[in-house]
DNA sequence: CGTCGATGATAAGTATTTGTTTCATCTTAT
DNA sequence: ATAAGATGAAACAAATACTTATCATCGACG
């Protein structure tokens, strides 16, 4: 489980984030002050740091600079900064500070989760960054975001790609529509529409798959969908 | 048995829900006002809270916020909110409030039960999430919803799957047809229907079982059916 | 702004599952 | 052995869920 450290003096926000991230299999810890935070980094060895700009003692920029400066101590810890205003953002991400990403407050929680995943992926440490084994003729190159079916490159949309990745990470697992929606969009989505079905249908089509005699995606009637792994 | 607390000032709805949930092995309690509700949480330690948005004293959002804020008192109590209108829903589930799910009124009771199960499952507390021991060549992976018979994956329908799970949770227990009906469909089923027999027959067929010399499901004449555990 | 591609919603058509009926077969009690 | 009730399973009917074409909407991009 990913360990996330949050340095933010807003205790309430910290709690909420902790709770929210828990749903995505991330364990969050909160430090209310930078000094405490730096201490915790050494102990916890978190996988990612969420850093507020507005802090007591010294501001987030300072903290970020310090961490980057002392990389021998803190390593290449990925950092996501929370900015109060959008204007300053330019400087944050660039060389000057070395943060990996930023997010202006107020933000959508799912947006945060998306960014976290992004950063972890870039830093090559995310579970979703594990290589994906070729299955049944489908070959995925995560770093290039390229999918080949029987040596032919497929042109997939974002959703289609994400869905395929998700499926291939858990071959033979039956996903309910809720699960798929949640994993793809980060929150509990509306169930009233056939959005998932449509998406699956589109992906199937590009994979040259048929619902009747599926080569890849099997419909589990009354439950959801399953990506067929190697059969034995 | 799961304890569900309902905070809703509509006494009628509360009664109906209580009754309905009872069929699904959930004991519901109703609090008509938030203050009373918070009190009852402490006493009852419910497994889940159903929270109406429209309430006297203060609205459901307030209550939700309060519960989340005082997690030291209320713990990580899962919350399902009932919203009068669908528009606000985005904010409910997200970080801002920390509810686990929402359901716009009016809703189908079935839908409610489904959501409750979802939430309880996510919070890792659902009985249906328990592992099932392999018995006599049948291996069930609940998280994947996968059933293997002698290493071969079986293709079961929802009802067949549910029936098998139920059987395997209580090997050697003789279920009457009523019991099976009630457990599988959650309602008092008509006693003159042979639906259970048909279902058992179909499951047997997929298991390669025969009623005469049963390997798995034994008919207890005049009573019901028994799933055969390990024999010694 | 207007276009284009991606995604969401809707609905008609189709497929699958599940319930019911029926009848052959089986069990048990006379 | 026979009758009465119970069960098994096939065939049919009803309920339910899925597929996909089509249209609407949204956001990115020029």
**Residues A188-203: tens digit of each pLDDT:** 455 567 889 999 999 9
What's the CA gap between B137 and B135, in Å, rounded?
A: 6
What's the CA gap between A187 and B101, in Å, rounded?
A: 9
Give the model's pLDDT for residue A24. Answer: 75
State the best of B94, B119, B140, B153 to mutate against chain A, taking most chain A CBs within 10 Å.
Answer: B94
Quick one: pLDDT band at residue B121, thresholds 50, 70, 90?
low
| Residue whose CA is minimally distant from D10 C1' | B198
Mean pLDDT for the stretch of residues B212-222: 91
| Nearest Cα to Cα of residue A142 among A164, A159, A171 | A164
Q: If you search the block for the tokens 């457990």, which residue do you land on?
A: B183
- Scanning every strand, the nucleotide with its C1' closest to B184's CA turns out to be C18
- Closest partner residue to B94 among A15, A109, A222, by Cβ? A109
Quick one: pLDDT band at residue B225, thresholds 50, 70, 90?
very high
Q: Which two tokens stand for residue A213?
A: 């005699």
The length of chain B, given as a count of residues: 232
**Residues B50-70: tens digit of each pLDDT:** 888 778 777 777 788 778 767
- Scanning every strand, the nucleotide with its C1' closest to A198's CA turns out to be D20
The whole-number Å distance from B222's CA to C27's C1' is 9
* More confident position, B46 or A231: B46
User: What CATH fold (topology level) applies to the domain B2-127?
Assistant: Rossmann fold (3.40.50)
**pLDDT averaged over chain B?**
79
**Residues A36-85: tens digit of each pLDDT:** 999 898 888 888 888 887 777 777 777 877 787 665 567 678 888 776 54
Residue of A nearest to B155 (CA): A220
Give the model's pLDDT for residue A211. Answer: 87
User: What CATH fold (topology level) applies to the domain B138-227?
Assistant: Arc Repressor Mutant, subunit A (1.10.10)
Q: Domain-by-domain residue ranges, chain B?
A: 2-127, 138-227
What's the CA gap between A180 and A29, in Å, rounded?
A: 28
SS3 B42: helix
Q: Which two tokens stand for residue B48?
A: 């889940």
Give the model's pLDDT for residue A225. Answer: 96
Residue of B nearest to A109 (CA): B95
Chain B residues interacting with chain A (CB cutoff of 8 angstroms): 68-69, 71, 76, 89, 93-96, 98, 101-102, 118, 122, 143-146, 151, 153, 157-158
Q: If you search the block for the tokens 């009906």, which residue do you land on?
A: B181
- Beta strands per DSSP E along chain A: 2-7, 26-31, 48-52, 79-83, 101-104, 138-141, 146-149, 152-154, 174-176, 217-220, 224-227
Give the model's pLDDT for residue B191. Answer: 59
Asked if residue B19 has a cis previous peptide bond (ω within 30° of 0), the answer is no
SS3 B219: strand
Give the model's pLDDT for residue B84. Answer: 61
Chain A: give the shortest CA distance to residue B180, in Å: 19
Strand D lies under 7 A from the Cβ of residue B146: no
Strand order in the sheet with B138-141: B138-141, B146-149, B152-154
SS3 B59: coil
**Residues A105-155: tens digit of each pLDDT:** 556 666 667 666 766 666 555 444 457 889 989 998 877 788 999 999 999
- In angstroms and rounded to an integer, the radius of gyration of the C-alpha atoms of chain A is 20
Is this complex's ipTM strictly greater than 0.85?
A: no
Give the model's pLDDT for residue B167. Answer: 92
């Amino acid at each position: 489980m990913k360990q996330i450290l949050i340095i933010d003096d807003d205790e309430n926000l910290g709690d909420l984030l902790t709770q929210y991230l828990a749903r995505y299999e991330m364990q969050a810890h909160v430090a209310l002050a930078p000094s405490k935070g730096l201490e915790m980094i050494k102990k916890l060895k978190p996988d990612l740091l969420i850093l507020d700009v507005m802090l007591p003692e010294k501001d987030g920029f300072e903290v970020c600079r310090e961490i980057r400066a002392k990389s021998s101590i803190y390593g290449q810890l990925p950092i996501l900064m929370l900015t109060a205003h959008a204007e300053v953002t330019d400087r944050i991400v660039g060389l000057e500070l070395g943060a990996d990403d930023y997010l202006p407050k107020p933000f959508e929680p799912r947006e945060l989760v998306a960014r976290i995943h992004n950063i972890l992926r870039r830093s090559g440490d995310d579970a979703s960054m594990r290589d994906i084994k070729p299955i049944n003729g489908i070959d995925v190159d995560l770093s290039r975001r390229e999918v080949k079916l029987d040596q032919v490159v497929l042109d997939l949309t974002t959703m289609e790609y994400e869905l395929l990745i998700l499926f291939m990470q858990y071959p033979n697992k039956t996903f309910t529509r809720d699960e798929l929606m949640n994993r793809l969009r980060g929150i509990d989505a509306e169930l009233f529409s056939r959005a998932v079905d449509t998406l699956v249908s589109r992906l199937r089509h590009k994979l040259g798959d048929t619902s009747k005699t599926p080569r890849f995606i099997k419909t589990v009637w009354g439950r959801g969908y399953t990506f067929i792994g190697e059969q034995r």
